[in-house]
Amino acid sequence: MMRLADAFAAAGSDARAALIGYLPAGFPDRETAHELVRAMVRGGVGIVEVGMPYSDPVMDGPAIQRASDVSLAAGTTLADAIDVVRTAAQEGAAACLMSYWNPIARYGLERFCQDFAAAGGTAVITPDLSPEEAGDWVRLTDAHGISRVFLIAPSSTDARLALVAGACNGFVYAASMMGVTGNDAVIGDVARQLVSRARAVTSLPVAVGLGIRSADQVRSVAQFADGVIVGSAFVRAVEESTSPAAAVAAVEALARELATGTARGSVPAPVEGGMQ
């Protein structure tokens, strides 16, 4: 099982940022979701972020919402998502889960931590759980060796940023902009400044997400962040494919293309487009 710290260390030793790829479990169907994870890893994704589809998301943009609707309509459960995490771990990636809090609470915290750890999961991203309400979560994830990831945003005050970063023990998820995933934006100073502010209060890796979907955007962010998170671009690659086999090929090709941007070095001019 690849741990988060090892994945970030391996990327750093190669003078590159870690490529983190997101796709919802159960999309476009249960079987293909596993094949897509395998394709991501073959293409160069070192950290896989499996999404638990949710009916009332707070940060998912239209593409991820559409994918989640497809998955939920097919009856995808948190147990199914954990099973995709298992596949990611078996493929040699650091396997993470992103889930809103309600599915985890309904599953049962103790049971979830046991099953997630047994599947080889390394970290859980909880976008709507605040550190102030995470006492039981902190205790149980510590007990089961699961890393926690909370989110910071450009609007976070310095005090809030320090509190959130202090509750993390995996990496800090820096939202590159205000809003939802997949929005169009110009990647530049906002994300860079947020990473700089985070580094002032934590030694953990800082990964940037929300709308990154091209190799040039990955290259821009890789110059100042430890990890680059891509989600909506993978979803769109699946949506635009004519068959499950084509979707697998498209995801692997996109991962390879994005991976070319993770090396630290020359930086292109800022380009327009969305982040996760």
Give the pLDDT score at 189.
Answer: 84
pTM above 0.75, yes or no: yes
- Top pLDDT among 247 and 275 is at 247
Among 164-168, 203-207, 252-256, 272-276, which is the least confidently predicted range? Answer: 272-276
Specify whether 226 is catalytic.
no
Give the pLDDT score at 1.
Answer: 78
Among 88-92, 234-238, 263-267, which is the least confidently predicted range? Answer: 263-267
Query: What average pLDDT does this structure show over 245-269?
Result: 90
Q: How far, in Å, are 11, 104, 195, 245, 249 from residue 224 at the CA level?
A: 13, 33, 7, 35, 30
| Catalytic position from the list 6, 14, 31, 60 | 60
CATH 3.20.20.150 is right for the domain spanning 4-274: no
Whether the Cβ atoms of residue 116 and residue 82 lie closer than 8 Å to each other = yes
- Report the percentage of the chain scoring pLDDT > 90: 85
Confidence bin at 268 (pLDDT 50/70/90): low
How far apart, in whole angstroms, are the C-alpha atoms of residue 140 and residue 276? 29
How far apart, in whole angstroms, are the C-alpha atoms of residue 39 and residue 61? 23
Confidence check: pLDDT of 22 > 80: yes
pLDDT digits (tens, 9 = 90+) for 118-165: 999 999 999 999 999 999 999 999 999 999 999 999 999 999 999 999
Specify whether 49 is catalytic.
yes
Give the pLDDT score at 56.
Answer: 76
Give the pLDDT score at 213.
Answer: 87
Give the pLDDT score at 77.
Answer: 97
Whether the Cβ atoms of residue 238 and residue 258 lie closer than 8 Å to each other = no
Query: What average pLDDT does this structure show over 184-205?
Result: 85
| Catalytic position from the list 14, 35, 49, 83 | 49
